[in-house]
Amino acid sequence: MLPKNGLLNRRTFLAGSAGFLSTAVWASSQKDEPWRFTSGRRMSPYGAPSKYVGLERLQIGGHPLAPEAGASSTPLERLNGIITPNSLHFERHHSGVPDIDPSQHRLRIFGNVQRPVSFGYEDLQRYPLVSKVLFIECSGNSYANTLPTALDKSAGELNGLLSCAEWTGIPLRQLLEEAGYDPKSDWVVAEGADAAGMNRSVPLSLALEDAMIALYQNGEPLRAEQGFPMRLLVPGCEGNLSIKWLRSLEVRKNPAHTREETSKYTDLLKDGSANQFSLRMGVKSIVTAPSGKMQLPDHGVYEITGLAWSGHGAVKTVEVSADGGRSWRAAEIQSEPGLYRPTRFRLPWRWEGQPAVLQSRAVDSSGNRQPTRSGALANAAPGFTYHYNGIQSWGVDQQGRVSNVYR
């Protein structure tokens, strides 16, 4: 018997539908396709998507006085798996993308160290490298869902300041130990070489834990917009901490209280206080399909799929609801959960024209549970901007149109 919410058991569905699916494939492959009878194009020096795909980042406008600043988001609803292609990784710049000659760029480590050191790009290439699959999320991601009225936007437009890649570089601990850092120090101030002089204070404990100086992204040298020739990467923390175009690291006793950690990137609370250095990103998930601005073409079975991640540990479980949170079913986690990496979840759903509200909620290995929208905003001051991780709701009307709604 079909559940009222339409959610199905994935394994049972696949076992029972294999014959039907194979018949559909055979039926659609009988016609003569013109591309079978002519030679294709030649090889290219650098691969590009098919002209029929049309994938691109979603542009978020910058300030009128600084058009080179701003952001672009990943079209999450158009992707699958967990890895974001380099060309679609979200961007966030405060003064545009610098054009840095790696032969002229150096990374300096100084301050409370025994031996101030300086590294060129080629110097770092000689170190033993490590690779990790990690997400980066802007702390302002999903900000639009804190507004009083739900905006009719896509998953990428609302939540696309999130991307995941395999990053390769040198553990920061190794370079700090080489410089002889003072263990009585508590902070490292990282600064970028962009015109904004972007800088942030990083707890020394985080710098020694999992941070790295990244040189490669998904196997190729960093793109310019991702920090070429080198960037800091602090896993699980707000993206602003992972300084791009890294030029210096100062070991010190106290934080620098820079603009980006005082007037910006600080959580204002209802009681008038503020949480400063709330750096880790909370447990979060979103359904990427079906999602905002999509249209279900007809009745039948659809796969609900999405991403879940956490800055406090690995994702442990993901549940999906099709009735606005009244009932839930465990989704199948398809990508291996790992520390600071997203996981892809899936669950089949039968839609027969009934109104629905699709949601997902995640729990991480530290026991943190993704809050509802009202729960995420409960202690926030008006104009709350950062670290929003409330449950995303997608309404499906009787005509099959999917839109962003609040629940």
User: What's the confidence (pLDDT) of residue 227?
Assistant: 98
Mean pLDDT value across residues 84-107 = 96
User: What's the confidence (pLDDT) of residue 14?
Assistant: 66
State the pLDDT confidence band at 27, using cuts at 50, 70 and 90: low
Whether 62 and 94 have beta carbons less than 8 Å apart is answered as: no
d(CA 237, CA 279): 5
Assessment of whether the complete model's pTM goes beyond 0.75: yes
Which range has the worst mean pLDDT, 3-7, 83-87, 96-100, 272-276?
3-7
State the pLDDT confidence band at 70, using cuts at 50, 70 and 90: confident
d(CA 356, CA 320): 12
User: What's the confidence (pLDDT) of residue 4?
Assistant: 66
User: What's the confidence (pLDDT) of residue 30?
Assistant: 61
User: What's the confidence (pLDDT) of residue 3?
Assistant: 66
Res 342 pLDDT > 60: yes
User: What's the confidence (pLDDT) of residue 19?
Assistant: 44
Res 20 pLDDT > 50: no
User: What's the confidence (pLDDT) of residue 22?
Assistant: 45
Res 251 pLDDT > 70: yes
User: What's the confidence (pLDDT) of residue 263?
Assistant: 84
Mean pLDDT value across residues 256-260 = 93
Res 31 pLDDT > 60: yes
Mean pLDDT value across residues 232-238 = 98
Mean pLDDT value across residues 154-166 = 98
**Rg from Cα positions in the chain:** 23
d(CA 342, CA 164): 7
Mean pLDDT value across residues 71-80 = 96
User: What's the confidence (pLDDT) of residue 69?
Assistant: 85
Torsion angles phi and psi, residue 300, rounded to 5:
140, -165
State the pLDDT confidence band at 335, using cuts at 50, 70 and 90: confident
Mean pLDDT value across residues 386-398 = 97
Beta bridge partners of 302: 349
Mean pLDDT value across residues 91-106 = 95
What number of CA atoms fall less than 13 Å from residue 31's CA on the CB side?
Answer: 4
State the pLDDT confidence band at 26, using cuts at 50, 70 and 90: low
Which range has the worst mean pLDDT, 5-19, 40-54, 131-145?
5-19
Q: Which residue has the higher pLDDT, 2 or 298?
A: 298
Is the peptide bond between 229 and the residue preceding it cis, with omega within 30 degrees of 0? yes
pLDDT in tens, 369-389: 999 999 999 999 988 889 999
Mean pLDDT of the chain: 93
Q: What is the DSSP letter of 142?
A: T
Structural domains of the chain ordered from first start = 92-268 (3.90.420.10), 284-405 (2.60.40.650)
Res 17 pLDDT > 60: no
Res 215 pLDDT > 70: yes
Whether 225 and 235 have beta carbons less than 8 Å apart is answered as: no
DSSP for 248-296?
Answer: EEEEESS----GGGTTSS-EEBTTS-EE----BPPPEEEEEES-TT-B-
